[in-house]
């Protein structure tokens, strides 16, 4: 492999992992808002939010879970392309 192929692979894997980190953070935010709306005493913790981000990062980079992550991203892409705003607030959309 050339240096170009190696660097392109590193960029692709890093981007996929960062997408998982972003999805993990969104997962925490969704569940925090859901818990808050149920009138429970909850605290917004940045350490927990970052932990969820790292869980999402490793979930997306794990080769076993990639078969779950890719269809989920295709679903999210369709929701965004079709402009289904009500679907963006659903649990199916916000779960990792």
Helix, strand, coil distribution of the chain in percent, nearest 5: 80, 0, 20
Q: pLDDT tens across 28-83, in order?
A: 999 998 888 887 788 899 999 999 999 999 999 999 998 999 999 999 999 999 99
Cα–Cα dist 22/42, whole Å: 22
Whether the Cβ atoms of residue 17 and residue 60 lie closer than 8 Å to each other: yes
Q: pLDDT tens across 2-28, in order?
A: 777 888 989 999 999 999 999 999 999
pLDDT recorded at residue 1: 63
pLDDT recorded at residue 35: 86
* Three-point CA angle 13, 88, 19, nearest 5°: 10
pTM given for the model = 0.86
Whether the Cβ atoms of residue 35 and residue 59 lie closer than 8 Å to each other: no
Rg, the chain, Cα only? 16
Q: Which of 72, 70, 66 is nearest to 92 (CA)?
A: 72
Q: Phi and psi of 92, rounded to 5°?
A: -60, -40
């Amino acid at each position: 492999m050339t240096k170009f192929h190696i660097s392109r692979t590193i960029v692709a894997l890093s981007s996929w992992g960062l997408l998982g980190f972003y999805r993990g953070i969104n997962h925490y935010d969704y569940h925090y808002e859901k818990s808050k709306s149920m009138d429970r005493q909850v605290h917004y913790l940045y350490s927990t939010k970052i932990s969820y981000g790292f869980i999402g990062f490793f979930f997306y980079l794990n080769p076993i879970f990639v078969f779950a992550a890719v269809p989920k991203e295709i679903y999210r892409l369709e929701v965004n392309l079709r402009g289904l705003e009500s679907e963006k607030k659903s649990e199916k959309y916000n779960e990792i």
